[in-house]
Chains A and B, each alone.
Chain A
Amino acid sequence: AQSVTQLGSHVSVSEGALVLLRCNYSSSVPPYLFWYVQYPNQGLQLLLKYTTGATLVKGINGFEAEFKKSETSFHLTKPSAHMSDAAEYFCAVSRWGNQFYFGTGTSLTVIP
């Protein structure tokens, strides 16, 4: 069985501050991990993904995430928040021949 837990349904940060969005997963086999972003009235867009190899993954718009198997985590970070980062962020897990399981999402607010 697979599932995803996103801690914090709402996160607020000041412009220029560090962004940290938390994601923990449970999976019976090594998973593939994704972060998607959803801007208002738009579809989900891939930020980054981990499949194999380097555990620190860089994505678009300055975001990155680190796969930590020992902690079953895949937290999303960005060193300096920008106003345009305000959106809903979803962590997802999948594996071979299977569908994507999504977390409940974290709404990011950036305060000027």
Chain B
Amino acid sequence: GAGVSQTPSNKVTEKGKYVELRCDPISGHTALYWYRQSLGQGPEFLIYFQGTGAADDSGLPNDRFFAVRPEGSVSTLKIQRTERGDSAVYLCASSRNDRGDTEAFFGQGTRLTVV
């Protein structure tokens, strides 16, 4: 596609439920990043993939959070036993590589609300 696509754009779930957030990166981009943005804050790093493997998952807050990218393209962020504190906008970005000097292209995010 032309840009990074995230689905759904909005998700409301009940506390304790399981959710999956999907990210379709720009075709050919090998690096994929997940960030979380709370109101009034900058994006907070969660995890990034280089190809199919998680190159750095140090930002995942706890073991309720997990992400996969099985074929090196689409990625899914999975949150188990959701809590109200998980409410935020989850951003996905992709870039041609993970050299660090390459622009990351961001999706519009998924707004997760846990009630």
Contacts and interface: CB of A to CB of B under 8 A. Distances in A.
Q: Do A and B bind each other?
A: yes
Interface in B12-35: 33, 35
Contact of B43 (A44, A49, A98): A44
Contact of B45 (A44, A49, A90, A101): A101
Query: What interface size band does chain B fall in?
Result: 20 to 34
Nearest to B55: A97
Interface residues of A, number: 28
A39 B31 CA distance: 24
**B interface SS class:** loop
B100 A43 contact: no
B103 A51 contact: no
B108 A51 contact: no
A100 B107 contact: no
A93 to B, nearest CB: 9
Contacts of A105: 40-42
A15 to B, nearest CB: 25
Nearest to A4: B42
Contacts of A95: 100
B58 to A, nearest CB: 9
Interface string B78-115: 00000000000001010000111101111111000000
Interface of A: 4, 6, 9, 32, 34, 36, 41-46, 49, 51-52, 90, 94-105
5 shortest interchain CB distances as A-B pairs: A102-B42, A51-B101, A44-B106, A94-B100, A43-B106
